[in-house]
Structure 1
Amino acid sequence: MINRRQFLGYLTAAASSSVLIACGGGGDNESEALAPGAQSSAAKAKATVSASANGTTTPPAASIVDKSGNVWKTSSGFIYKNGTKDAGSYNVALLLWYGGSVYQKNTGGDFYRYTGSGWEYSLDPRMGGVSADGTTLPSSSYIIDKSNNVWTLSAGYIYRNSVKDPYSYNVSLLLWYGGLIYQSGTGGQFYVLTFNGNWLPCADPRIAAVATAGAFYGINGHHDYPFTPSQVVSALRGLGCNTYRVGCVNIPAMMNPVVALASAFQAAGMKLFTLVDYGLHDDRGMLYTSESAAYEASFAGAAAIATALAPYGVTMYECGNELTRDPAIILNSATAGNGRGDFNNANWPIMRGAMLGMIDGIKSVQPNAKCGINFCVADIAAADMLWDGMQPDGSGGYPKVRWDITTWHNYEAYGDIFNVGTDGAGPGFNLPVYCKARYGVPFMITEWNASPQQTETFRSTYVKQQLGEFYAARKTSAIESVMYYELTSGDQTYGIVTDSLVPIQPTYGTFKTFVAAHPDN
């Protein structure tokens, strides 16, 4: 698992916009010669004219006056400000005064906004900015995404910034939803455009998916807590939670207390969600030598765990913990995971083998058990590759990992899961909606919390805000359970109670109050 303190600073890089000079932006140089007919003094111009009406263009107007009284004109494709030629401008077809800024449009149709010292690329501001969520073509004439790309649809083909998409045809609908572009063809199949630039099959993301009631509020714990199973049951009931996530491997020191917990939870009518904690390394800590070796070891361990827990009504398992973030898999832990190139191609089969082994091992004992695969941050590229049998190098035809539950970790440092950042920290997208459309299975957030160094007052506010978002999405994005990390951490970093089961306030009270006011039904 990534150290939470270290990860806090990983996703702070912001995408920067390029300031384009070639199409207009040499700055001001009052020593240059005046254009024919221009006023002889910038000061005189500012003193004698008022700002132009919003939306004024030249042509047809002879000039534009900005809010500082500067006079803007064009002549022979060049821009003049207060009679001084903009040294970097050329092929200018139009100037626009809009929303308090000056824009230029060149003969190629591109727009640039004046920043005060130069020109930066922009869209025509009259188009309205980023499209409203749910905008479709047809009905609208275009879609603007968060990266200022303009999408249009013509004769069944998709165009981005007037460039035809080479893989689109017979497209009847283009949709902007949850921060991503979706298309549907005349046959009704939907596809989503991924950050790797390819279209992947999915369902209509607008279709609501209702989560099964009864497991929404959960807490993480450990097999070696200083409590009895009955005390754990009581602690969860005190908070209003009915799901408890605990990890184990097939050794007596872990299995015996987990079996005792399973027995207590079965008697209480509550749910034990078991993390089968196998990974990429053998008992000596060495990386498995092959996909088959990882598969066989994980299969045996998972089958033994299912055999021990099945008699106590355990039916849900999570197969592996943050395996896509293992140093043998993620090339740079600062990356968000939405690109195939974020992951190690050579070691990918070992992780795939471990995941398949755990799933197959459990189902060899409990064919109807529900098995989840866990991801972090914005690891949708990892999820897609596993689901579709792909490698990070783009090759395909490998075994497909198919899970019954999509599970995710979403700590404060990772960002809002409903607008999670990508490599470069943005723009964000709605990750649960994407997973709902792509994989069509329930979604669980199996670890979440504020960063460990935050104050308890901050944590309390964060808990209320996050639970509100999670709860609102449970009937639209199939969010079946959210499991707070954790019951106790032995200190004040994550736990909601102390090792003596004393509530840590105000977080404990905030959590309990929210649950009481928002029933899981």
Structure 2
Amino acid sequence: MLKRRQFLGGLTALSASYLLAACGGGGESSNASGKAAAATGASGAAAASGASGTSSNTTPTAKTSDPNSISMPPATSITDNSGNVWTLSGGSVYRNGSAAGNTFNVSLVLFYGGVIYHEGTGGQFYEWTGSGWVGCNDPRLGGTSADGTSLPASPYIIDKSGAIWTLTNGVIYRNGATVGDTYNVSLVLWYGGKIWHCGTGGQFYVNTDTAGHWLNCNDPRTAIAPPAGMFYGMNGHFDYTYTPQQIVSILKGMGCTSYRVGGTNTSNELNALVGLAQAFQSAGMTLIVLINQGVYDSNGNLLAGENAAYSQGYAVAQGIANALKPYGVTIYECGNELTRTNATVLDFTAAGTRASDFNNANWPVMRGVMRGMIDGVKSVQSNAKCGINFCVNDVGAADALWDGMQPDGSGGHPTVRWDITTWHNYEVYGDLFDVGTDGAQPGFDLPTYCKARYGVPFIVTEWNTGPDRTQAYRSNYISTKLGEYYQNRKTHNIQSVMYYVLDSGDQTYGIMINGSPLNPSYSAFQSFTAAHPDN
């Protein structure tokens, strides 16, 4: 087990950039050699200089124009804020008497919000950039729709990329084109940065990509509150020099009620886990045990196929559960960042939102070891709760495992069904409630997505900022993130948020060193828990 995790030097934790690194609570290295993905952004509008458009008759009618806007026709000319005079002649746009780019068949020129736009006969709008035209929506439609906007109550929805969604005769359209195979749709919903729909039978579906794939889910608007009593958590290691009783005392002093620690079924690690379990049982606190089995054998070689991986995971998990069952441990996390090893992810800079981001050939090994750990625990404790861990934005992996899919798109494979969705959310990965996708495209609310897709509680088993941050920065980050987690805990089914880590041996991640608090970080954590009860 690693005493601490380090991000690659020189990388800055930029919003919508990703450092796909191992940041585990312990155990097998994720072999993270990733770099921060460039935040390229995506406007959702294709560049264009012509006036002809591609919109169909499903494009909604614009709202009433701004009273300060001017259009041709009926006006014969428009003077912009810089004094340039715009005219429309023969279907082409002119600026101060000279052709403004290559335009044709223009039916409307609009001055709106200080910007010049034009519309082609097909209904496509273009915005003047100062040197050319770029495709856009009719500016009178407004920007991104408010969260919770629905069809048919509203005439249209505009998502974060600028795409316009409409509903006609029970069929869903995106920018005038059908989105997958939909019919008898009674509701289209914009919620948590995603498009959802519901059919007349009451089944909800969520759109996962521009190709029109829909996955079945629950209504994302349903607020779910997990059981209280373990919300404030901390990570630690089995080989600390602190005694179990000292750890319990330290955690109580910080307002923590849960603790995550990893181990395998070797005798020294099992003995350490048993000692902790006994102490936590006596204290009435929750111990979450990370079963630290990966996709490699003891020699560092990939396990030999799904069956071998299943057997290995089963044996290790069964041994751990047998040892801990008498001491009240009922929550196990089955593997640490298994989607982020050299064997499982194709590109560490990928956000993980697509199943194709992962290694198809080695996928069965990962799936096998996950299934084995869950079944190994359940063979001893049928009522135990098993979590599967993901990080960055690995919903592509999570969905494929849940539905029995391979990264190549083939189905019918064994499913992995967990009782708790667990996630790592370091600052460099982005805001969990608005986490970005590949190319830094518009983000979405990840816990809402998981709540609707998998229907089980959500635990953030690791969170922190980067190792290079000052204690003052870390203190503010702790207060801010705890506030965000706390505010959303009872609507997003967030059962616990577990800070990484109690003691890292230095100031990179730990909140104390050798029993001495690192301030102001420690005080920020302690003050927040004292002022915000877990009830």
Q: Does the 8 A contact of 2:105 with 2:121 survive in 1?
A: yes
- For residues 321-400 of structure 1, the aligned pairs below 5 Å read 321-400=336-415
Partner of 1:407: 422
Contact 2:402 2:415 in 1 (8 A): yes
- Whether the aligned pair in 1 keeps the contact of 2:347 and 2:357 (CA below 8 Å) is yes
Task: Tell me the equivalent position of 1:96.
Answer: 110
Q: Which moved more, 1:15-24 or 1:443-452?
A: 15-24
Q: Does 1:494 align with 2:509?
A: yes
Matches within 5 A, 1:263-302: 263-302=278-317
CA contact (8 A) 1:142 1:152 kept: yes
| Distance (whole Å) between structure 1 residues aligned to residue 98 and residue 67 of structure 2 | 23
1:415-494 matches, cutoff 5 A: 415-494=430-509
Whether contact under 8 Å (1:221, 1:246) holds in the other structure is yes
- Which residue among 159, 162, 183 is the counterpart of 1:145? 159
- Pick closer, same or farther for the CA change 1:360–1:449 going to 2, 3 Å: same
Indicate the larger mover: 345-354 or 5-14.
Answer: 5-14
Q: Which amino acid aligns with 1:117?
A: S
**Aligned residue for 2:178?**
164
Contact preservation (8 Å) 1:5, 1:453? no
Pair 1:142–1:190, CA change in 2 (3 A): same
> What is the deviation of 1:165?
2.8
Task: Give the match's secondary structure for 2:259.
Answer: strand
Quote the offset at 1:63 in angstroms. 1.1
Counterparts of 1:156 and 1:19, CA distance in 2: 28
Amino acid at match of 2:358: F
Contact 2:434/2:444 (8 A) holds in 1: yes
**1:422-468 CA-partner distances (Å, limit 9, x unpaired):** 01112100000000000000000000001111111111111111001
2:7 matched to 1:4? yes
In structure 1, which of residues 118, 121, 124 is the aligned counterpart of residue 135 of structure 2?
Answer: 121
Higher relative contact order, chain-length normalized (CA < 8 Å, sep 6+): 2
Distance in 2, Cα, partners of 1:87 & 1:507 = 57
Instruction: Specify the alignment match of 1:46 in structure 2.
Output: none
Alpha-carbon distance change, 21 to 199 in structure 1, aligned in 2, over 3 angstroms: closer
Question: Shift of residue 53 of structure 1?
Answer: 6.4
Kindly report the root-mean-square deviation, in angstroms, between the aligned alpha carbons of the 2 structures: 1.5
Q: Cα offset for 1:118?
A: 1.5
2:225 to 210, 219, 239: 210
- Count of matched residue pairs: 494
- 2: CA distance between counterparts of 1:169 and 1:120? 33
d(CA) in 1 for partners of 2:41, 2:356: 18
Corresponding residue of 1:82? 96
Identity of aligned residues (%): 58
Which SS does the other structure have where 1:329 is aligned?
coil
Is 2:190 the partner of 1:176?
yes
The whole-number CA distance in structure 2 between the counterparts of 1:452 and 1:402 is 34
One-letter identity of the residue aligned with 1:419 = D
Contact persistence 2:48–2:135 (CA under 8 A): no
1:20 alignment partner AA: A
Pairs within 5 Å for 1:25-64: 54-64=68-78
Q: State whether residues 125 and 137 of structure 2, in contact with CA within 8 Å, keep that contact through their aligned partners in structure 1.
A: yes
How far 1:108 sits from its partner (Å)?
1.4
Instruction: After superposition, give the CA deviation of every residue in 1:227-262 in whole Å (9 maximum; x if it has no partner).
Output: 111111111011000101000001112111111111
Q: Distance in 1 between matches of 2:8 and 2:280?
A: 33
Any idea what the Cα deviations from partners look like across 1:460-508, whole Å, max 9, x if unmatched? 111111001100111101000000000010000000011x211100110
Give the AA of the match of 2:415: K
Counterpart of 1:5 in 2: which secondary structure?
coil
Listed one character per residue, the Cα deviations across residues 120-139 of structure 1 (whole Å, up to 9, x for unaligned) are 22111111110000000011
| TM-score, with structure 2 as normaliser | 0.90
Aligned equivalent of 1:222: 237
The question of 1:243 aligning with 2:246 is answered: no
Q: Which amino acid aligns with 1:273?
A: I
Larger gyration radius, structure 1 or structure 2: 1
Distance 1:333 1:182 in 2: 29
Query: Which amino acid letter does the alignment assign opposite residue 4 of structure 1?
Result: F
Aligned equivalents of 2:331, 2:180: Cα separation in 1: 43
> Which residue pairs with 1:30 in the alignment?
none
Instruction: Look up the equivalent residue of 1:129 and give its one-letter code.
Output: G
Q: Deviations over 1:101-152 (max 9, x none)?
A: 1111111111111111211221111111100000000110000001111000
CA distance in structure 1 between the partners assigned to 2:229 and 2:180 by the alignment? 46
**TM-score, scaled relative to structure 1:** 0.93
User: Following the alignment from structure 2 to structure 1, what is the Cα–Cα distance between the partners of residues 180 and 489?
Assistant: 37
- 1:147 is matched by which residue type in structure 2? S
In the aligned structure 1, how far is the partner of 2:212 from the partner of 2:344? 22
C-alpha separation between the residues in 1 aligned to 2:298 and 2:474? 37
Q: Any conservation in 2 of the 1:5–1:452 contact (CA below 8 Å)?
A: no
What SS does the aligned partner of 2:439 have?
coil
Cα deviation for residue 155 of structure 1 reads 0.8
Structure-1 separation of matches of 2:267 and 2:460: 28
SS at match of 2:242: coil
Query: Cα gap change, 1:159/1:240 in structure 2, threshold over 3 Å: closer, same or farther?
Result: same
In 2, Cα distance between the equivalents of 1:516 and 1:102?
Answer: 55
Which amino acid in the other structure matches residue 254 of structure 1? E
Deviation at residue 3 of structure 1 after TM alignment: 4.7
Q: Is the 8 A contact 1:93 1:106 kept in 2?
A: yes
Is 1:185 aligned to 2:199, yes or no?
Answer: yes
Offset of 1:77 from its aligned partner?
Answer: 1.3
CA contact (8 A) 1:410 1:448 kept: yes
- Partner SS state of residue 512, structure 2: coil
Shift of 1:19: 6.6
**Residue number among 92, 116, 120 corresponding to 1:106 in the alignment:** 120
Q: Cα distance, 1:20 vs. partner?
A: 2.4
SS in 2 for 1:4: coil
Matched residues in 2 for 1:288 and 1:236: separation?
37
Q: Which is worse superposed, 162-171 or 14-23?
A: 14-23
